[in-house]
Amino acid sequence: MAQQVEQLRADGVYKEVIREGTGPLPDFRDGTKVRTEPLPPGGWGWGTGTEPGEHGARSACAERLPPPPPPTPFRRRHGDTAAFFTLPQATFHYRTLRCGDEETPLDDSRERGKPMELIAGKKFKLPVWEAALRTMRAGERARFRCDVKHVVLYPLVSKSLRNIAAGKDPLEGQRHCCSIAQLHEHYSLGYPDLDELQKNPQPLIFDIEVLKVEAPGSYQQDPWAMTDEEKLQAVPLIHKEGNELYRQGKVQEAAAKYYDAIACLKNLQMKEQPGSPDWIELDQKITPLLLNYCQCKLQSEEYYEVLDHCSSILNKYEDNVKAYFKRGKAHAAVWNVAEAQADFAKVLALDPSLRSVVSKELRSLEARLREKDAEDKIRFKGIFSQ
């Protein structure tokens, strides 16, 4: 590992170990997953090529960092209900600091409540992170001071990570801009501190703590980090997981799975021309997942979300019986009586075999209306008798 540290040092990446890790140095050549999390002040950093206890010197060098290993193909294991990958993954907390006397913080994964996960060989936009992790053991915390050439793209990476933490699309604002345009001084990332860093690049310090490193086949990749091919292959498996969770009565967990599957397909759909055959094919895959998601939301009594999603489906597919039925139930739950009756009537017109099911829903609605009328009479009687 000493050789790796020297290579980093020669290329302008200086490692300082704060706390040594345990166990063998992870092998990132065969599909390991590293997980990182944000640290308290002092954080941790990425580095490559140092044994625990070795402190990188602060001298400059011109040698380039070794390239990451080529990614291995996506692999689906028979009998598994999740998409697994043949690349290692690291999970870690990170804290990004500006170089200088004050070391002003830019990002801290602990403050966001979720660690960072990086899969080796996936061509992450900051190769220096993977190079740094290659020198770290589980439990190790280290700081990596990186020359400007290694962190030019950090503002874009930071924006994506901030968007993910906020539940937004990580590519928001980037789809129609090439990398050169995004680095132009007039292009705003939506965060003043990142705009300033983009305009005036400077060396950065990454304070990193490795939580764990997972071998190939032992973890499931987050949908946002998948390639297009991986998303397509993962969707049926995520869908199956959601169905199993729903059968077990784990409605919230099932909704999260359906959401992930929808997110995969929506991301692919955004790359297609609306109305094109490929766009329509993806939309037809999204629809049953969205209906399953709506069923979960019905049980969670989040009726207005059901109304929105079912209406969006019916705007495109006017003969979708399940969308009418679920929207009818949601209308009934929020006392939109006329709208509920209209939706249930449409269900019968499209599929008369559902008469008994629809009749049950209408009887339930009528019973609730009678109960509500009785309560209102008592309430208003008390008001007018005063």
- Residue type for position 233: Q
pLDDT tens digit sequence for 235-281: 999 999 999 999 999 999 999 999 989 989 998 998 899 999 999 99
Between 354 and 381, the higher pLDDT residue: 354
pLDDT tens digit sequence for 304-340: 999 999 999 999 999 999 999 999 999 999 999 999 9
| pLDDT of 228 over the 90 cut | no
Rounded to 10 degrees, what is the CA torsion of 285, 286, 287, 289?
100
Give the pLDDT score at 378: 77
pLDDT tens digit sequence for 114-136: 898 887 776 678 899 988 998 99
Distances (CA, A) of 114 to 27, 39, 263: 24, 11, 19
Report how far residue 178's alpha carbon sits from residue 191's, in angstroms, rounded to the nearest whole number. 19
Give the pLDDT score at 172: 55
pLDDT band at 377 (very low <50, low <70, confident <90, very high): confident
Q: What percent of the chain has pLDDT over 70?
A: 73
Whole-model pTM: value is: 0.54
pLDDT band at 44 (very low <50, low <70, confident <90, very high): very low
Give the pLDDT score at 6: 86
pLDDT band at 5 (very low <50, low <70, confident <90, very high): confident
Angle between helices 337-350 and 321-333 (to 10 degrees): 160
pLDDT tens digit sequence for 164-184: 777 665 555 554 444 444 444
Give the pLDDT score at 382: 61
Helix ranges (H only) for 90-126 are: 109-112
Of 42, 152, 142, which Cα lies nearest the Cα of 92?
A: 142
User: Of 32-36, 185-189, 317-321, 370-374, where does mean pLDDT reach its minimum?
Assistant: 32-36
